Amino acid sequence: MSELFTTYESDFQLALQDAKARIAEVPGLEANQRKVTLQAIESATDECLELVDQMSLEVQNLPASERSSYNTKIRQYRNQTEESKQRLSQLLDDQDKQELFGNRYSDNDDGVHDLQRKQLLNNQSSLDRSTQRLHDSQRVALETESIGGNILNDLRAQREQIMGARDTLTAADGYIDKSVKTLKSISRRITANKFISYAIIAVLILLIFLVLASKFW
């Protein structure tokens, strides 16, 4: 399993649990506290979607035979996030209705400030995690680019070797053609020499017969 995928998955579970826990708290909160909590839920669900997208990108780097199980997980995580988003949308609609009808709730400034401070800390933590994931993604991209460059260099070297081998084969083919022509020429000369030898032998035999015949005549 990819190390980055495991990290994203762990962060996703934390963000999703945070969103669900805050959703469960909303009905019992006062107006100001509810606004801060709804913002926190929105931030957590947005982080969940971002993490799901990061997991999807990471799965693309895995072998095709291993992607199926991870894609099933990603679909499940995306569905869970969408459920939280839908629940958040309902809560936001309820909040808008309450504000539209002019309901007023007692303010607790200290509580609101405390919740806002916690929200800022949560946002900072989410930003830090997002920055780390961005750095990890950049590192993976650089590593992938380096691997791709090495592959291109290897392919270029292999192409040069193939072209050199092709040139060598072409030259060898030319030498073979010349050798065949030379052998054919030698064969023709041998054949011609044979006929010349046979003719000389025939003439010699004829001369011998003529000499012998002149002696008897």
Residue range 9-28, pLDDT digits in tens: 899 999 999 988 988 888 88
DSSP string, the chain: --HHHHHHHHHHHHHHHHHHHHHHHGGGS-HHHHHHHHHHHHHHHHHHHHHHHHHHHHHTTS-HHHHHHHHHHHHHHHHHHHHHHHHHHHHHHHHHHHHHTT------HHHHHHHHHHHHHHHHHHHHHHHHHHHHHHHHHHHHHHHHHHHHHHHHHHHHHHHHHHHHHHHHHHHHHHHHHHHHHHHHHHHHHHHHHHHHHHHHHHHHHHHHHHHH-
* Cβ atoms of residues 70 and 55 within 8 Å: yes
C-alpha pair distances (Å), 62 with each of 29, 43, 110, 147:
45, 29, 50, 15
Position 163 in a domain: no
Position 217 in a domain: no
- Min mean pLDDT across 41-50, 97-106, 112-121 is at 97-106
Domain span including residue 74: 3-143
Position 40 in a domain: yes
Position 174 in a domain: no
pTM above 0.85, yes or no: no
Position 75 in a domain: yes
Position 161 in a domain: no
- Min mean pLDDT across 3-12, 71-80, 136-145 is at 136-145
Position 205 in a domain: no
The first and second tokens of residue 173, run together, are: 């083919």
Here the CATH number for the domain that contains residue 96 is 1.20.58.400
Count up the domains in the chain and report the number: 1
Which of 63, 46, 60, 51 lies closest to 141 in space, CA to CA?
Answer: 60
Position 125 in a domain: yes
